[in-house]
């Protein structure tokens, strides 16, 4: 991975009437990395993508993609990036093949010329090439949209929530595809509301209410976590939550699958005292273990 | 278990579209007050099955009842007696909070008096008395979601269908929403929920996983984890749904 900057965002702010969508966003995304923008619906992810893909103009601040300014050089940027918006921009009445040919033609190229770039993904849907895009399932639409965004060999690929509403297995397959695309040298900026996808990125930024609340490698972000964190396991999760949540010194109590993660401040209870509290309320058979924070714990801690 | 009241009974349900069998002979029961997770890969047949359970589509063959009404010939009664909420659509953003409650109350045939009582009770339970005149579009996502869930139960249904209710929602709001699900279930409402978050599968009393039109696995999260030698429901799901042969 080279150290060159592919995407630079400096002090970008954007409001829609009274709503501040983005507030003073600063990011640097390196060439050839997968950069994840992670946050819930309404955090500002799409607003930032639209500014970087030159579809919208910021109120203040500046941004560049491959050294080109998003306002002054928007035409150059459009030619050299691939963009997959949240709602896949496919023509429902055109077939798989027709969609792909259309996107290739718009960018002044042909599918044959860049077939190598899309081969691996396209081969998975090629058997349906005469099917209308509207008749494809979600997973296949996603693959076709990715092919359409790649067909002109872009330097930078913008993927806005490519895995939203996609099942857990297909999500894993999609991320495997991304890491293969990355190997060809493409810079990938991807947004997602799924916190578990953070660890699949080289670097990430957590975004909430229009602000970047932390950024770095997933490991760096996890190391920023300052509170003590315990995993409590037991048979009745909601009973555990109800007992521990109101205790003093406890910052948050969050269910994580079959575990409850308890964040504790400096003066808060330790393993023994958590266990004793649960037992005194008649909840037996629990285990309490000190753990390191996941990205989702960090997000909860910062929100 | 057998003596418990059943809100959903499904026997040998089949749905074909032309020569494609979307749902291929599925059978299961859901008990009163149970949180039932209905999982599956995209294209496994979940949506088709849910549409039949909600009275929006007729099965090709098979029998069943939802909230005591027959899925073949009492579809209108089913629609009146179930609740439904999805993340994609639930409330009208250009209507105020009280107007949304009134609209849905009216659709479900509540009297003006009942609607007035419901509105007061609901807003109090949600601590949203001050938000009564707010436009839904101006509400934070977490509020909207809680309100949408309460409104989906405005007519006191026996069962509520939640179709990906937490998609795209932040981690704190997502967890608060599950507290509401637990509250509803402990009041005896049956909750039928779909999700792509595998940690949420752990919160269900029982989980069914559909693959290629059939129910491949059904049981409590701990039973399934044991059966598939997995530590998490994510592993269970990957083991089961990863075997799909149907190209969606």
The predicted-structure confidence for B174-198, as pLDDT tens digits, reads as follows: 998 998 999 999 999 999 999 999 9
Residue A223: predicted pLDDT = 96
CA-based nearest residue in chain B for residue A208: B170
**Hey, are the CB atoms on B169 and A137 less than 8 Å from each other?**
no
**Hey, are the CB atoms on A254 and B175 less than 8 Å from each other?**
yes
Identify the DSSP state of A135.
Answer: G
Q: Which pairs with CB-CB distance under 8 Å and at least 24 residues apart come from B228-232?
A: B232/A257, B232/A258, B232/B198, B232/B199, B232/B202
CB of B198 within 8 Å of a chain A CB? The answer is yes
Tell me how far apart the alpha carbons of residues A295 and A283 are, in angstroms, rounded to a whole number: 29
A158 has which bridge partners? A83, A189
Residues in B touching A169 (Cβ below 8 Å): 41, 237-238, 241-242, 244
Residue B23: predicted pLDDT = 97
What is the fold, at CATH topology level, of the domain defined by B6-90+158-241? Rossmann fold (3.40.50)
B contact residues 40-99, partner A, Cβ 8 Å cutoff? 40-43
Residue B1: predicted pLDDT = 45
The confidence band for B245, taking pLDDT boundaries of 50, 70 and 90, is low
What residues contact B18, with CB distance under 8 A and at least 6 apart? Answer: none
B10 has which bridge partners? B28, B64
The predicted-structure confidence for B113-123, as pLDDT tens digits, reads as follows: 999 999 999 99
Contact of A190 with A142, CB cutoff 8 Å: no
Residue A1: predicted pLDDT = 46
Q: From the list A41, A171, A300, which residue is nearest B172 (CB)? A: A300
Task: Tell me what the mean pLDDT of segment B17-36 comes to.
Answer: 96
Residue A260: predicted pLDDT = 94
Q: For chain A, list residues with pLDDT below 50.
A: 1
**Hey, are the CB atoms on A137 and B173 less than 8 Å from each other?**
no
Residues in B touching A195 (Cβ below 8 Å): 171
CA–CA distance from A178 to each of A147, A159, A189, A203 (Å)?
12, 10, 11, 14
**Hey, are the CB atoms on A238 and B202 less than 8 Å from each other?**
no
Residue ranges matching CATH 3.40.50.300 in chain B = 6-90+158-241
**Hey, are the CB atoms on A137 and B196 less than 8 Å from each other?**
no
A208 has which bridge partners? A211
Domains present along chain A, CATH in parentheses: 5-223 (3.40.50.300), 228-302 (3.30.70.100)
Identify the DSSP state of A86.
Answer: S
Residue B244: predicted pLDDT = 65
**Greatest mean pLDDT among B18-27, B87-96, B237-246:** B18-27
**A248-262 in b/e burial notation, b at 16+ Cβ within 10 A?**
eebebbbbbbbbbbb
Three-state SS at B94: coil
Residue A164: predicted pLDDT = 85
* Closest-CA distance of chain A to residue B125, Å: 18
Residues in B touching A167 (Cβ below 8 Å): 40-42, 196, 241
**B169-190 in b/e burial notation, b at 16+ Cβ within 10 A?**
bbbbbbbebbebbbebbeeebb
The values of phi and psi at residue B8, to 5°, are: -130, 130
**Hey, are the CB atoms on B199 and A257 less than 8 Å from each other?**
yes
């Amino acid at each position: 991975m080279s150290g060159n900057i592919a995407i630079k965002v400096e002090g970008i702010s954007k409001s829609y009437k009274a709503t501040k969508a983005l507030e003073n966003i600063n990011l640097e995304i390196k060439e050839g990395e997968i950069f994840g923008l992670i946050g819930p619906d309404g955090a500002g992810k799409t607003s930032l993508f639209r500014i970087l893909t030159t579809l919208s103009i910021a109120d203040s601040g500046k941004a560049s993609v491959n050294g080109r300014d998003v306002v002054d050089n928007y035409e150059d940027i459009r030619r050299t990036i691939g963009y997959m918006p949240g709602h896949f921009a496919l023509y429902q009445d055109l077939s798989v093949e027709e969609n792909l040919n259309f996107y290739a033609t718009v960018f002044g190229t042909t599918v044959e010329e860049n077939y190598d770039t899309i081969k691996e993904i396209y081969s998975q849907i090629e058997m349906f090439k005469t099917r209308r895009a509207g008749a494809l399932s979600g997973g296949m639409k996603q693959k076709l949209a990715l092919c359409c965004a790649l067909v002109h060999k872009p330097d930078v690929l913008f993927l806005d929530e490519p895995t939203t509403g996609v099942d857990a297995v297909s999500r894993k397959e999609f991320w495997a595809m991304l890491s293969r695309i990355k190997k060809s040298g493409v810079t990938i900026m991807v947004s997602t509301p799924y916190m578990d996808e953070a660890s699949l990125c080289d670097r990430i930024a957590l975004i909430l209410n229009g602000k970047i609340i932390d950024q770095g490698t997933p490991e760096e972000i996890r190391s920023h976590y300052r509170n003590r964190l315990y995993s409590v396991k037991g048979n009745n999760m909601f009973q555990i939550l109800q007992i521990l949540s109101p205790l003093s010194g406890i910052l948050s109590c969050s269910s994580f699958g079959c575990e409850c993660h308890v964040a504790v401040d400096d003066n808060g209870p330790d393993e023994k005292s958590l266990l004793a509290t649960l037992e005194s309320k008649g909840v037996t058979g629990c285990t309490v273990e000190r753990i390191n924070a996941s990205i989702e714990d960090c997000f909860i801690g910062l929100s | 278990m057998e003596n418990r009241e059943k809100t959903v009974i499904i026997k040998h349900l089949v749905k074909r579209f032309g020569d494609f069998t979307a749902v291929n002979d599925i059978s299961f029961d859901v008990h009163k007050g149970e949180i039932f997770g209905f999982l599956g890969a995209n294209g496994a047949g979940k949506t088709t099955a849910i549409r039949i359970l909600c009275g929006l589509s007729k099965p090709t063959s098979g029998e069943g009842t939802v909230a005591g009404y027959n899925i073949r010939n009492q579809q209108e009664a089913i629609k009146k007696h179930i609740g439904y909420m999805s993340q994609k659509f639930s409330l009208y953003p250009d209507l105020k909070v009280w107007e949304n409650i009134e609209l849905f109350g009216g659709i479900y045939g509540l009297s003006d008096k009942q609607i007035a009582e419901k509105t007061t009770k609901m807003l109090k339970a949600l601590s949203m008395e001050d938000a009564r005149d707010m436009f839904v579009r101006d509400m934070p996502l977490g509020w909207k979601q809680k309100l949408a869930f309460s409104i989906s139960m405005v007519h006191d249904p026996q069962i509520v269908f939640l179709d990906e209710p937490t998609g795209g929602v932040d981690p704190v709001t997502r967890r608060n929403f599950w507290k509401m699900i637990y509250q509803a279930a402990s009041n005896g409402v049956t909750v039928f929920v779909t999700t792509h978050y595998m940690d949420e599968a752990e919160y269900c009393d029982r989980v069914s996983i559909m693959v290629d039109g059939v129910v491949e696995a059904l049981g409590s999260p701990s039973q399934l984890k044991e059966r598939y030698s997995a530590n998490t429901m994510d592993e269970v799901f990957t083991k089961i749904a990863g075997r799909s042969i149907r190209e969606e």
